[in-house]
Amino acid sequence: MFNDFKLKDDSPVYVQLKDYIKDMIVNGHLLAHQKLPSTRELSRLLVVSRNTVLNAYAELEQDGMIYAVKGKGNFVGNVTTLKTAAIEFDWKTKLNKETLLADELDLIRQDLHWQRGMISFTSIAPEEKLFDVENFKRAFLTRMSIEGDIVLNYGYAKGYKPLIDYLLRYMEVKGVDISNKDILITNGFTEGLDIFLSSIAKKTGRVLCENPTHHAALKLFRLHGLDIHGFDMTDHGIDIDQVEKSLAELTYDFAYLIPSYHNPTGIVTSSEKRNAIIQLFSKHQIPIVEDGFNEELRYSSAHLAPLIAFSGAGNNVVYISSFSKILFPGLRVGWILADKELIACLESMKRARTIHTSTLDQAVLYQYLQDSYFEKYLKKARAVYKKKYELARQACNQYIPFSRMTGDGGLHLFIELEEGVDARRLLKKCYTKGVVFYPGDVFFTNGLGSNTLRLGFSRLSDEDIVHGIQMIGDTLKNDMGS
């Protein structure tokens, strides 16, 4: 740039320079608000006196072609240039159906917008007032002082080694045989599931799951064009007899299960059933994707081991989890624990798609766990959530005429109303009274569940929990006739 400046005639150099720059501006080679070289720099570059440049800039400023900012230098002004006639695509015609579907699925639940002051049971995100910000800062400063420069540079696709080692040990203590397994760090649970879905061969194109189940997983299944087969939830987990009947006739690419504090029902699959599930799917050679969702949120100190522990030295379970439902979801850190060879392939996919997960997030999370701030925080969080949980249960029992309520722990309860009661209609009525919840139908694989709703209580005060549930109950009893 500027290096093709040549003297054309014997008119003053500064005039020729001015015209040369003016020309570049009107031809769009220099654009509005773009910085010009300093006078010193340009005089050196063009081998002309600095005065020549100063004069040229002065003239350009008078012509309104450029403007000076004190202490910052000279900038190109807002000049209409000979730019291309702006072209306007209709981008929607250029996108594939999955993207338009994602857009559409996104809109589904945006019909009722939450507003300040409302009592919202929609969220199952952690209560940010509980966040242990001070110890998080400590963990950050510790890690930065140990290897700040490394934390800020490129890392490995597989993840931050100290965190991987920590999590392997963490899962081993849960009873998992990690001898033939490895961990890939992902941008939260969702990327973990998406990478798995992008990697597994769609031979039957069928996925087996609980019905209802996690709506974000359902969305990804649809985006990956999977044929979703949901099976009823009993109070102890998926209806294994239904599943067994189906497996006698059909096979599936994989099963997706949420054994602990299932989303949305909050049901915990019993150990007997966990055993039976592993037996059954092993017999039929079907891989299981286990969603570790909320596993940490146990309210009694003894806990069921994850499915992947029940499979022992087997490699048929792919365990995907994150701490996002308890600890700092703003940090997007999740992990896949699975067969070593599988992880190696998923790692290549991860590298190709997002290089690696934020080293900063991983390193600070590691330090926070390592300094056992996590255990302390978890104790506190459990006590708080347990209280809210019991309060919400009690209030539902007292105020809501349900036909079924499930939720063995975690951050939410699932309510089944009488047949025929429309939860979305109820939602509309409650909305006008300043109470919102999550309509249950979005969790169903087969369009059912119009009479169900999910109540997330993690971010509500005790008063709002009771008051909100009472309002829902009153609305049900009094306003649904009209």
- Residue 298 CB, shortest distance to its own copies, in Å, is 10
Residue 434 within binding range of its own copies, rule CB under 8 A: no
Buried b (16+ CB within 10 A) or exposed e, 25-38: beeeebeeeeebbe
**Residue nearer to its own copies on the CB measure, 385 or 399:** 385
Stretch that binds its own copies, among 51-59, 60-68, 168-176, 440-448 (CB under 8 A): 168-176
Distance CA 164, CA 99 (A): 33
Out of 13, 14, 18, 36, the only residue in the binding site for its own copies (CB under 8 A) is 36
Out of 63, 232, 235, 341, the only residue in the binding site for its own copies (CB under 8 A) is 341
**Residue nearer to its own copies on the CB measure, 362 or 475:** 362
**Residue nearer to its own copies on the CB measure, 252 or 399:** 252
Residue 300 within binding range of its own copies, rule CB under 8 A: yes
**Residue nearer to its own copies on the CB measure, 342 or 465:** 342
- Residue 357 tokens read as 């997960």
Q: Looking at residues 100 to 129 of the shown chain, list those that interact with its own copies (rule: CB under 8 A).
A: 100, 102-103, 105-106, 125-126, 128-129
Q: What residue spans of 355-422 are helical by DSSP H?
A: 359-370, 373-399
Q: Looking at residues 403 to 422 of the shown chain, list those that interact with its own copies (rule: CB under 8 A).
A: none
Out of 15, 68, 112, 150, the only residue in the binding site for its own copies (CB under 8 A) is 150
Residue 294 within binding range of its own copies, rule CB under 8 A: no
Q: Pairing between strand 206-211 and 227-234? A: parallel
Residue 162 within binding range of its own copies, rule CB under 8 A: no
Among residues 391, 400, 417, which one has the least CA distance to residue 474?
A: 400
309 in the Ramachandran plot: left (φ > 0), alpha (ψ -120 to 50) or beta?
Answer: alpha
Residue 27 within binding range of its own copies, rule CB under 8 A: yes
**Residue nearer to its own copies on the CB measure, 124 or 395:** 124
H or E segment to which residue 193 belongs = helix 188-199
- Residue 403 CB, shortest distance to its own copies, in Å, is 24
Out of 15, 26, 54, 223, the only residue in the binding site for its own copies (CB under 8 A) is 223
Residue 375 within binding range of its own copies, rule CB under 8 A: no
Distance CA 416, CA 400 (A): 10
Distance CA 386, CA 381 (A): 8
Residues that contact its own copies, how many (by CB under 8 A)? 126
Site track for its own copies across 376-405, x = CB under 8 A = ------------------------------
**Residue nearer to its own copies on the CB measure, 11 or 275:** 275
Q: Looking at residues 38 to 97 of the shown chain, list those that interact with its own copies (rule: CB under 8 A).
A: 38, 41, 45, 73, 76, 83-89, 91-92, 94-96
> For the chain, first and last CA: distance in Å?
74
If one counts every other C-beta atom within 10 angstroms of the C-beta of residue 224, the result is 17
**Residue nearer to its own copies on the CB measure, 336 or 472:** 336
Residue 149 within binding range of its own copies, rule CB under 8 A: yes
- Residue 394 CB, shortest distance to its own copies, in Å, is 19
Return the amino acid letter for 134: E
Question: In this structure, what DSSP letter does residue 128 have?
Answer: G
CB 184 within 8 A of CB 155: no
Stretch that binds its own copies, among 10-18, 54-62, 360-368, 392-400 (CB under 8 A): 360-368
Stretch that binds its own copies, among 151-159, 229-237, 389-397, 461-469 (CB under 8 A): 151-159
- Residue 472 CB, shortest distance to its own copies, in Å, is 24
CA dihedral 370→371→372→377, nearest 10 degrees, is -120
Distance CA 218, CA 220 (A): 5
Distance CA 349, CA 85 (A): 40
Distance CA 451, CA 271 (A): 30
Sheet of strand 181-186: strand arrangement: 181-186, 334-339, 317-322, 288-291, 254-257, 206-211, 227-234, 237-238
Distance CA 232, CA 279 (A): 19
If one counts every other C-beta atom within 10 angstroms of the C-beta of residue 168, the result is 17
**Residue nearer to its own copies on the CB measure, 75 or 431:** 75
Stretch that binds its own copies, among 134-142, 394-402, 414-422, 474-482 (CB under 8 A): 134-142
